[in-house]
Amino acid sequence: MKTNNNLSKIAFPMIRHFNIEAMKYDNIIKLTIGEPHFAPPKDIQNAAIFAIENNDYKYVLSEGRVDTKKSILNYVKKYFNQHYGMDEIMITVGSTEALSSTLAALLNPDDEVIIPTPAYTGYSPLVTLNNSVSIFMDTSIDDFQIRYNNLKKHITSKTRCLILNYPNNPTGVSLDSQSIEDIKKILKEHDIYVILDEIYNRIMIDDFKSIVDPSVKDKIIIINGLSKSHSLTGWRIGYVLASREIIQSIMKVHQYVVVAVNTITQYAATEIDCDISERINYYKKNVEYAYNRLIKMGLNVVKPNGTYYIFPEVPYHSEKLFYDLLEKEKVAVIPGTCFGDFENHIRISCAIDYDSLKEALDRMERVIKLK
């Protein structure tokens, strides 16, 4: 029996493959997954418990609970200076569903989507599943920043949107001021949307800078969630911010695919503005430590100023290094090939306890020195 032809054009994520490989070994230190090692904040847990104990288990509106939406709108205004109304937000099953529903709402067959690389592995397959085309744009030539000339030359009459993930996975960098101005200039010149995947924007090393301002707001769609910032990776709670017209279009997809996000996690998300400063500062220290260690190893590294990933250049093919680290020192990283044509890079996640990070880097240094 046949299935969707587009499925033959995509594969399971390579990250999944390398994680499965790492699971074959005992006592591994994993620097692979960007999953915070902290438990969810108590305020979040208590809100979920309240929903359970009060038997609030019924359907909610497809766009989300009113209190949940209000809490998130106040949160993004307070921390990111992003101003949106109640009809410009919807609650989703994590940021992945937010992106999937957004692309389904925007794309027509053969539309082009610009994806700066290195890039998170989930973007291009979603474009393919919508019968559209991924256009990859190498940002390594500009220290992983977005520059006007580079972006301009990738735009054609078929360009529908641009997916930006900053703070970035896998590099850990955030947009600098020039990138923000260059993106705004492009949006003013071209009839395209930009989808901002800002899932890491609360776990910032430097201050977060938003590209949203009134002159381009109608062309911007923000994807975010609580997975990384609030340690809710398994709870699957996210949101979309966009113009009312775009939200209504995304809602049609969301309604038929999801119906609504589960009630308990929406209760939990009303406490989004709880104190997470301890974990933010913890990861800042981890990243600073890891960066300095990698520099001392003689590796070329663009310093992360965004989130808890680092993407160093390594002395030989990253997939071979993956197996060398695994077999010789029981350390797991993610090869750069998972994020594009970056065979001489690896991604290191610093979302781990400090002692394990230090030990992992000690072991890594022994392997690197052999080369």
**What share of the chain in percent tops pLDDT 70?**
99
Mean pLDDT calculated for residue range 8-17 = 91
**Which residues form the domain of 191?**
42-269
Q: What is the chain's mean pLDDT, rounded?
A: 95
| Helical axes 277-296 vs 354-369, angle rounded to 10° | 10
- Determine the pLDDT at residue 210: 85
214 and 356 co-located in one domain: no
- Determine the pLDDT at residue 278: 93
313 and 234 co-located in one domain: no
Distance CA 363, CA 110 (A): 47
- Determine the pLDDT at residue 208: 82
Mean pLDDT calculated for residue range 69-83 = 96
Q: What is the pLDDT of residues 221-263, one digit of tens each?
A: 999 999 999 999 999 999 999 999 999 999 999 999 999 999 9
Higher pLDDT, 213 or 339: 339
Residue 34 has pLDDT above 90, yes or no: no
Half-sphere exposure of residue 69: CA atoms within 13 angstroms, side-chain side: 19
Last residue of a domain, one of 269, 287, 315: 269
Last residue of a domain, one of 269, 301, 332: 269
184 and 165 co-located in one domain: yes
C-alpha 35: how far from chain center: 11
94 and 189 co-located in one domain: yes
Q: Residue 128: is it exposed, middle or buried by C-beta count within 10 angstroms (0-12/13-18/19+)?
A: middle
Residue 46 has pLDDT above 80, yes or no: yes
60 and 199 co-located in one domain: yes
Q: What is the pLDDT of residues 259-268, one digit of tens each?
A: 999 999 999 9
- Determine the pLDDT at residue 58: 86
The strand pair at 89-92 and 238-241 is best described as antiparallel
Q: Does residue 339 sit in helix, strand or coil?
A: helix
Number of domains present in the structure of the chain? 2
Which CATH number does the domain housing residue 58 bear? 3.40.640.10
pTM, to two decimals: 0.95
Mean pLDDT calculated for residue range 32-46 = 93
257 and 304 co-located in one domain: no
Q: What is the CA radius of gyration of the chain?
A: 20
200 and 59 co-located in one domain: yes
Residue 213 has pLDDT above 90, yes or no: no
71 and 145 co-located in one domain: yes
Residue 371 has pLDDT above 70, yes or no: no
The strand pair at 334-335 and 346-349 is best described as antiparallel
Last residue of a domain, one of 200, 235, 269: 269
58 and 177 co-located in one domain: yes
Out of 33-37, 198-202, 259-263, pick the least confident. Answer: 33-37
- Determine the pLDDT at residue 55: 87
Distance CA 48, CA 271 (A): 10
Cα dist from 157 to 107, 217, 306, 340, whole Å: 14, 22, 33, 25
47 and 122 co-located in one domain: yes
pLDDT band for 370, please (50, 70, 90 cuts).
Answer: low
- Determine the pLDDT at residue 331: 97
Which CATH number does the domain housing residue 286 bear? 3.90.1150.10
Mean pLDDT calculated for residue range 100-110 = 98
154 and 294 co-located in one domain: no
237 and 324 co-located in one domain: no
